[in-house]
Amino acid sequence: MKKGILALAVVLLFSAAAMASEASSPADVVSGPQGFPVITSFDQTFLDSCPAEVSTGDNQLLGVEFDGTHYWVSGGGHYPHYGINWIYKLDRDCHLVDGCEQGTVSLWGMRDLAYNNAAQLLYGSDDRGLWSFPNSCPLNKTALIPPTGFTLPCRALAYDPVTGHLWTANFSSDIVEFDPATGQVFCRASNSYGVFGMAWDNKCYFKWGYDHPMLWVFSQDGTPGLLFSLFDPVAGAYTGDTWVGIDPIGTDDYAGGCATDWGLYEPGVGAMISLNQGDPMDIIMSYTLCSLAGLSISCNNLTPIFCRGKNVYFQVTTRNGTGGAINVTMAFTGYAGYECEAGNELVVISRAKTVPDGSDTKDYFFQVPNAASPGPYSAKVSFSHGGASFECCMNFTCVQCQPWRAGDNTEWVWEEVSRAEVVPTTTTLAQNHPNPFNAETSIGYTLADAGNVNLSVYDISGRLVETLVDGQQEAGYRSVTWEDSEAASGVYFYKLTAGDFTEVKRMTLLR
């Protein structure tokens, strides 16, 4: 495959040649050496470029998508189609394969594009409507419903393949998640950037330490104006993770649309593809977001402190870059003591599992028998494939919330659960562990609802010693450690206040 970008003189030569022909005639694009640096902020390396303005002859390109084989680029009614908005289909060598009218009458036409790979549908919007259409010319558009209360155009667009929802923003407007079949809005979040493009990340998000798909926002901020910012669709806020795209000519490029691809654009690579709007030309640039090759497993402990005999929830994320689903025997091993040390095994439970292609997170619970002694435990989740072993380890602390009774649960259990079951149904405060304690102790609690939470420690006279938690928290399982090197031996109390829930428990410090 030809890669790289034209030297400036070659760009101008082909720009002149393109102006003398119609955009529907493929241009013979010559590529030169890459010569671009590595983006060091998050190690996004340059992959490829396409001088799309040269190939199309259109000097006002706006949006870009990749359908697994071809680029699709929206043009905004300037030369050579004055007053008529076109859309273009380019191959990976940047040759123009096809082009047709958008059927839009607004000044700029469609802006950023989004793509539904399963249905092979593109999405586009101008200031008069929102549409889906198959990836072929001429366009067979179907009108969709923009988000309620949103001012068109849907300048930036991204498609979430799990929910079927679109995400959008119009420059500095709120970021909105909506159902294009009804216009119903599911998320509306504040935005401080000049947004022109969006792309859904459902495979590379683990690289930035997240356990769920994320949203990339491409904005005309910075110098050059090619800022990629990571947005958390669960929290409804930017994460602060950013990187800047390359301006191959100078410092005058600005963000247009953008897209992501998983292994079709470049084998084994999660790729970011963007349209730079610039002078002397608009150009498509692409970068490596992450490697999809190989296998890995990671665990996320949701209940670090639990009552014996109760469910302990955790998540297992597998990342499969082998190119297809694989079948494995996944083993859960429980240990007495922390760190999953060999020789401390208590139980091994195995399940046949299918590890799908890409990144996948499942929720599970395990249950330590009620007759088990309070204290430290750990659990390992593991599987083997191709002669290699993959495993992760989690530490837990079991505390006695109620006396053991004959006839109570005596079985170890490990089961997959639905995500809804991971959220606790009641707010509780656990006994600290260890108790009595010498240097530090852990306090666990569960929150059935999101809200303001305060967890504070008091001495025997009722004087506030330390506030451990004070602020807004989401529903779930929590744990906090209290360590006070200046506190004297004696009895202390800790109090949890969460909404209408208040509970106080006693603990003893022994120096």
* DSSP per-residue string spanning 199-227: EEESSSGGGGT-SS-EEEEEES-SSSB-E
Answer yes or no: is pLDDT of 266 > 90. Answer: no
Read off the pLDDT band of 8 (50, 70, 90). Answer: very low
pLDDT value of position 199: 98
- For the segment 93-121, the average pLDDT, to the nearest whole number, is 93
pLDDT value of position 18: 33
Read off the pLDDT band of 5 (50, 70, 90). Answer: very low
How does strand 388-399 pair with strand 305-307?
A: parallel
- Least reliable range by pLDDT among 247-261, 265-279, 343-357, 396-410: 396-410
3-class DSSP state for residue 400? coil
Give CA–CA dist 120/441, Å, rounded. 55
Answer yes or no: is pLDDT of 11 > 60. Answer: no
Answer yes or no: is pLDDT of 28 > 70. Answer: no
- For the segment 117-140, the average pLDDT, to the nearest whole number, is 94
Question: Which among 8, 24, 500 has a CA at the least distance from the CA of 252?
Answer: 8
DSSP 293: -
Domains contained in the chain, CATH given: 8-223+244-291 (2.115.10), 294-422 (2.60.40.3880), 423-511 (2.60.40.1930)
Read off the pLDDT band of 237 (50, 70, 90). Answer: very high
Read off the pLDDT band of 15 (50, 70, 90). Answer: very low
Give CA–CA dist 124/408, Å, rounded. 60
Place of tokens 């599911």: 186
Answer yes or no: is pLDDT of 172 > 90. Answer: yes
3-class DSSP state for residue 272? strand
**Size (the chain), residues:** 511
pLDDT value of position 20: 28
Answer yes or no: is pLDDT of 4 > 50. Answer: no
Instruction: Kindly write down the DSSP assignment for every residue of 28-43, as one continuous string.
Output: -----------BTTTT
Read off the pLDDT band of 406 (50, 70, 90). Answer: low
pTM of the model: 0.60
Answer yes or no: is pLDDT of 30 > 80. Answer: no
User: How far is the CA of 59 from the CAs of 54, 75, 226, 383, in angstroms?
Assistant: 8, 8, 19, 53
3-class DSSP state for residue 124? strand
User: Among positive and negative, which fits the CA dihedral 150, 153, 158, 161?
Assistant: positive
Answer yes or no: is pLDDT of 186 > 80. Answer: yes
Q: Which residue has the higher pLDDT, 35 or 418?
A: 418
Give CA–CA dist 287/246, Å, rounded. 9
- For the segment 408-432, the average pLDDT, to the nearest whole number, is 74
pLDDT value of position 317: 87
Answer yes or no: is pLDDT of 487 > 80. Answer: yes
Give CA–CA dist 324/322, Å, rounded. 6
- For the segment 388-392, the average pLDDT, to the nearest whole number, is 86
Answer yes or no: is pLDDT of 405 > 70. Answer: no
pLDDT value of position 13: 29
- DSSP H helix total and E strand total for the chain: 2, 36
Average pLDDT over the chain, rounded to an integer: 84
Whether residue 366 contacts residue 348, with contact meaning beta carbons closer than 8 Å, is answered with no
Answer yes or no: is pLDDT of 264 > 80. Answer: yes
Read off the pLDDT band of 409 (50, 70, 90). Answer: low
35 - beta bridge partners?
A: none
Whether residue 69 contacts residue 276, with contact meaning beta carbons closer than 8 Å, is answered with no
- Residues 52-64 have pLDDT tens digits of 999 999 989 999 9
- For the segment 121-149, the average pLDDT, to the nearest whole number, is 95
- For the segment 174-199, the average pLDDT, to the nearest whole number, is 96
Q: Which residue has the higher pLDDT, 461 or 414?
A: 461
pLDDT > 70 fraction of the chain, expressed in percent and rounded: 87
